Amino acid sequence: MKYSILFFTLILSTILFISCSDLKEDVITSAPKLSVHESGIVNPSSPNFHGNLIKNADWDMKQCQQCHSASYTGGTAGASCYDCHTTPAGPEACNTCHGDFANPSSIAPPRALNGAILSSERGVGAHTKHLTTNQLGTAVSCNECHTLPNGFSDPAHIDLTPGAEIMFGSLTRLSTNVPGGFNYQPSIGNFIPNPSFDKTNGTCANVYCHGYFKNGNLSNVVSFTSQSLGSVCGTCHGNVATGNPLPVTFANGGTHPDNQNCDFCHFDVVSIDSTTTQIYTIIDKNKHINGKLNVFGNEETY
Ligand code: HEC
Ligand code: HEC
Ligand code: HEC
Ligand code: HEC
Ligand code: HEC
Ligand code: HEC
């Protein structure tokens, strides 16, 4: 026992001696590494964090590529962005700057460019309601509101006007009740939406999805940051104040029947809870706000 302790002590001191001399040699042969960046380059809470440097340079990453190489794999800097940005597109992956940094398939806000996650912030707004937590219809494609860039360096992606560009897609412009359509009435004509986005107020107007169709609420203006939908059926068609979704009827200058029993004619879309008064449930989200009029079990494509 005594001897084995002595033996191990001896081995240990030999190891220590060898490593100390290794260390000394290192100190002598290599000069301290020069850093081109101020301290904090990898600390997200530092003003010198590399994300902030990029943001402050109008999101230009070409300057970084000069040293870290065009492919971001190290270059003369000898430090690869892929050490941390591990997905195939590296730092140019969409979720580096938008959506969830930890989930490459989650590329829309929340998390806006300024870090905001609240829906009351313009860069966040109603994205989730249109993309994942939809209550009234199915998920809306990004292309209904933006032209999705074809990669980070697509010239259409980043410009010097702050904020995102809104470019409306085909569903928002859908013209219902066209000549030849099932319910077309020449005396009413058809409704051709001309969607617009008010950059100052953050509101949308004249979109098909929010009421720009025959007997709908043509003058409905919706806010991206403060709209409460889901409980209010009357916002896009019907009565905004009471929430009654009945579109404009004959009696009021429209062409819709004056009949509250939606489930009688739109039975594949909606059900009414008859024990309580007028509680409507969308029973098939694929058939509501889908660009088609669903009536008497038929889907009418305009
Ligand atoms: C002039 C050359 C040069 C430029 C330009 C440059 N870097 Fe670096 N970078 C380096 C060098 C050298 C290192 C390694 C030494 C150090 O940490 O400074 C480094 C390290 C880093 C690190 C730390 C890597 C790690 O694993 O710890 C990050 C992050 C980084 N750079 C990001 C950037 C970003 C983002 C840009 C563009 C805004 C950029 N760099 C521009 C030379 C450069
Ligand atoms: C040591 C790990 C590490 C390295 C190396 C690294 N990054 Fe990052 N980077 C991060 C982390 C972590 C975040 C997210 C921080 C946060 O939002 O909390 C980030 C965020 C970013 C952002 C988003 C900025 C924003 O505000 O949305 C960009 C752009 C970026 N990095 C580019 C680069 C580039 C270019 C390189 C290589 C030159 C690089 N990164 C190297 C860890 C790293
Ligand atoms: C390094 C950060 C960064 C990365 C990576 C990035 N973006 Fe962006 N993105 C921005 C900035 C900054 C804006 C605001 C553009 C402006 O002000 O014109 C923006 C705006 C957008 C918009 C709003 C519409 C527009 O053009 O203004 C969409 C949509 C978008 N990005 C999608 C993507 C997609 C898809 C990817 C991946 C292919 C991606 N982004 C990668 C920084 C980034
Ligand atoms: C219903 C319309 C709509 C849909 C669908 C939509 N967006 Fe947006 N998006 C907006 C509006 C409105 C803004 C805010 C514009 C502004 O800043 O004035 C915005 C802003 C953005 C921004 C910039 C956020 C910031 O930080 O400023 C990005 C990035 C973006 N959207 C990406 C996406 C992506 C990716 C999708 C699909 C996965 C998507 N959006 C779907 C309407 C939409
Ligand atoms: C975001 C706007 C919006 C809201 C809110 C809304 N709808 Fe609709 N609704 C539409 C659109 C768009 C159509 C299709 C109109 C067309 O193509 O002529 C539609 C059509 C309908 C139809 C006709 C059948 C069909 O789908 O073609 C019924 C019934 C209906 N909605 C019931 C409801 C009920 C019940 C609620 C509340 C739970 C509601 N709607 C809330 C936009 C809305
Ligand atoms: C008696 C059958 C009937 C009942 C009941 C009925 N609808 Fe309709 N609905 C129709 C017909 C027919 C159309 C096509 C009307 C047209 O284009 O002139 C229509 C169209 C619609 C549209 C598309 C806009 C339009 O008028 O073309 C919406 C939205 C709608 N109905 C909602 C409702 C809601 C909500 C209820 C219940 C409150 C309801 N409907 C009850 C027959 C009915």
pLDDT per residue as tens, the chain (302 positions): 444 443 444 343 444 334 444 444 444 455 555 679 999 999 999 999 999 999 999 999 999 999 999 999 999 999 999 999 999 999 999 999 999 999 999 999 999 999 999 999 999 999 999 999 998 999 999 999 999 999 999 999 999 888 899 999 999 999 877 787 777 888 878 889 999 999 999 999 999 999 999 999 999 999 999 976 545 799 999 998 888 999 999 999 898 999 999 999 999 999 998 666 678 999 999 999 999 889 988 887 65
Structure pTM? 0.91
Evaluate: CB of 98 within 6 angstroms of ligand 4.
yes
- Specify the ligand 2 atom closest to the Cα of 77: 38
- Specify the ligand 2 atom closest to the Cα of 67: 38
Evaluate: CB of 148 within 6 angstroms of ligand 3.
yes
- Specify the ligand 4 atom closest to the Cα of 209: 1
Q: Is the dihedral of CA 111, 114, 118, 121 positive or negative?
A: negative
- Specify the ligand 4 atom closest to the Cα of 112: 26
Q: Which two tokens stand for residue 252?
A: 């009021």
Hey, whose CA ends up nearest to atom 22 of ligand 6? 247
What pLDDT shows up at residue 14? 40
Q: Which ligand is nearest to the CA of 51?
A: 2
What pLDDT shows up at residue 161? 85
Hey, whose CA ends up nearest to atom 29 of ligand 2? 51
- Specify the ligand 2 atom closest to the Cα of 97: 27
Q: Which ligand is nearest to the CA of 247?
A: 6
What pLDDT shows up at residue 263? 93
Mutate to test the pocket of ligand 6, among 295, 299, 300, 302 (most ligand atoms within 8 A of CB): 295
- Specify the ligand 5 atom closest to the Cα of 294: 27
Q: Which ligand is nearest to the CA of 53?
A: 1
| Locus of tokens 């039975």 | 267
Burial of residue 261, with CB atoms counted within 10 A of its CB: 0-12 exposed, 13-18 middle, 19 or more buried: exposed
Could you give the CA distance from residue 208 to residue 163 in angstroms, rounded to a whole number?
Answer: 24
DSSP bridge pairs for 272: 280
Evaluate: CB of 42 within 6 angstroms of ligand 3.
no
Could you give the CA distance from residue 196 to residue 109 in angstroms, rounded to a whole number?
Answer: 21
Evaluate: CB of 96 within 6 angstroms of ligand 3.
yes
Evaluate: CB of 196 within 6 angstroms of ligand 6.
no
Hey, whose CA ends up nearest to atom 3 of ligand 6? 265
Spacing, Cα 152 to ligand 3 middle (Å): 7
Could you give the CA distance from residue 302 to residue 299 in angstroms, rounded to a whole number?
Answer: 9
Hey, whose CA ends up nearest to atom 36 of ligand 1? 64
